[in-house]
Chain A
């Protein structure tokens, strides 16, 4: 019955809220107990995934203007806005202590989060592999990493979340895309405040979470302090996180340019040059179908409401060339729309260009 150490760090500066779990992981020796860190940032910031390129992902001008720092973590995933309304739950375990199989590892990590939400009366469930859903909406995100001799799993308890600021800090190809992100976050994400009407008491949530961790891990948890060595390594990590070399590190080799909202929902944008002008398609894709579509550009289409009608008509269509072309054809057959230099094939090409951005 090995005791799990809990480091209850409270509110700390944004940099520390990211650096601490890296520091504990890289300072890990064979004697270090498996550790759960509970921490929140005392001010807002933006955080990018390990292999992202800062200037491609984040609106750096806006962040500079607002005094929002931007830090790269050694965990994957996308750029995210974070503030004191999230309680990070960071597991730093000896390698090979957690299940090797990631699906089982996440199931174990997520179990106490789900049970904590459920205890508060929120209908949270695990959405394999690594999401938590409440009636189809996602609450928080999770990620895993290997750092030195530690396995790390991170996630959060979402007291509240500022959807508008999240969309604001992201670098997006157009304001239309930004509007769609806000709208999609509102539609597909949730928080404790939203589910309960108000954010619950932090201390109470922390205790419930620790109790459910003890249950899930079958081991006692004890609140202790980080060692001097761990704090020293954390400070080294902080210095690295502040360096230009780290901040502006080039992205890795990659594919796909979609913005993931949750496991089944992605935002995509693509363009197609038709003889009659450029068509930009911005879409939300849900389980492979067009959930929402915006068409913009310098083409001409009459009557004025026809573009809106075409956007509407495409909802629910599977992102397949034949299905898209058929629906566009039906649209032209049912309505006397004129679009000089833009054919049904051009609309189809613009919409199908989204597919190249879509993840598998």
Chain B
């Protein structure tokens, strides 16, 4: 596990260089996605999440959910073609899951990859991912923090 400027960047996960999200590849064509530590820090404490429906398909770059914090609204982008298999309904009880546990209980969606090789080609992992996000953290003078449980 790599921690840089307070930002946790688990090396075993996959990332997209242009989006602050993580991907856990599970089996041949399924994956779980969530906000990275950088993303949850940048957004701040969540107030709302609205998921697209299970079964919906998204094209690369389309959103699977919209997220609203006290200061910001944005899409949760899926960087590759996918079908939404499950959304994290635990946000109904605790809206700040991504803030407290972004890589665990705060996962956002589980998806089926519609083109697994193309999806994998978009992603980085391990030392390369750590180096990429360390640079992003330095360029943007980021320091990550986690909200206390509410």
Q: Which residues on A are within 8 Å of B, measured CB to CB?
A: 49-51, 74-76, 99-102, 104, 106, 129-130, 143-146, 250-256, 360
Contacts and interface: CB of A to CB of B under 8 A. Distances in A.
Contacts, number: 77
Interface in B1-51: 42-45, 47-51
Nearest to A106: B71
Contact of A143 (B48, B50, B73, B91): B73
Nearest to B96: A255
Which 4 A-B pairs have CB atoms at the shortest separation, nearest pair first? A252-B50, A146-B74, A252-B48, A51-B48
Given A76-B69, A100-B42, A146 B75 contact: yes
Q: What interface size band does chain B fall in?
A: 20 to 34
B66 interface: yes
Nearest to A254: B48
B37 to A, nearest CB: 13
Contacts of B71: 76, 102, 106, 129-130, 143-144
B102 to A, nearest CB: 16
B66 A50 contact: yes
A171 B49 CA distance: 22
Interface of B: 42-45, 47-51, 66, 68-75, 89, 91-92, 95, 140-142, 150
8 contacts: A50-B73, A100-B42, A102-B71, A102-B72, A104-B141, A145-B74, A360-B45, A360-B150
B78 to A, nearest CB: 14
A253 to B, nearest CB: 5
A256 B44 CA distance: 16
A152 to B, nearest CB: 9
Given A143-B73, A253-B92, A100 B140 contact: yes
Given A100-B42, A102-B44, A255 B73 contact: no
A129 B42 CA distance: 13
A254 B95 contact: yes
Given A76-B73, A252-B50, A254-B95, A50 B68 contact: yes
Contacts of A145: 72-74
A130 B142 CA distance: 18
Given A253-B51, A256-B47, 12 more contacts: A50-B48, A51-B50, A76-B68, A100-B140, A102-B42, A145-B74, A146-B75, A251-B48, A253-B95, A254-B48, A255-B47, A360-B45
Contacts of A143: 71-73
A256 to B, nearest CB: 7
B73 A252 contact: no
B92 A49 contact: no
A254 B70 CA distance: 12
Nearest to A49: B68
Contacts of B150: 360
Contacts of B91: 253
A360 B43 CA distance: 16
A83 B42 CA distance: 32
Nearest to A99: B140
A252 B91 CA distance: 10
Contacts of B48: 50-51, 76, 251-254
A101 B50 contact: no
